[in-house]
Amino acid sequence: MSYFSEIYNGVITLLKGMSVTGKYFLNSRKGAITQQYPDNRDTLKMFERFRGEVIMPHDEKNEHTCTGCQKCEIACPNGSIEIVWDRGIDEYSGKKKKKIDKFVYHLSLCTMCGLCIDVCPTDAIKWGQNFENSVYDRTQLTRVLNRPGSKLRAGVED
Smaller CB separation from other proteins, 34 or 93? 34
Q: Which stretch binds other proteins (CB under 8 A): 16-24, 92-100, 105-113, 127-135?
A: 16-24
Among 1, 2, 5, 32, binds other proteins (CB under 8 A): 32
Among 20, 74, 89, 154, binds other proteins (CB under 8 A): 20
Secondary structure class of 128 (helix, strand, coil): strand
Q: How far is the CB of 42 from other proteins (least distance, A)?
A: 19
Instruction: Give the burial class of 81: count Cβ atoms within 10 A of its Cβ; 0-12 exposed, 13-18 middle, 19 or more buried.
Output: buried
In whole angstroms, what is the distance from residue 47 CA to residue 36 CA? 16
Count the site residues for other proteins by CB under 8 A: 16
Angle at 79 between CA 133 and CA 63, to 5 degrees: 70
Q: Are 78 and 91 in contact (CB under 8 A)?
A: no
Smaller CB separation from other proteins, 1 or 93? 1
Q: Which stretch binds other proteins (CB under 8 A): 31-39, 55-63, 70-78, 130-138?
A: 31-39
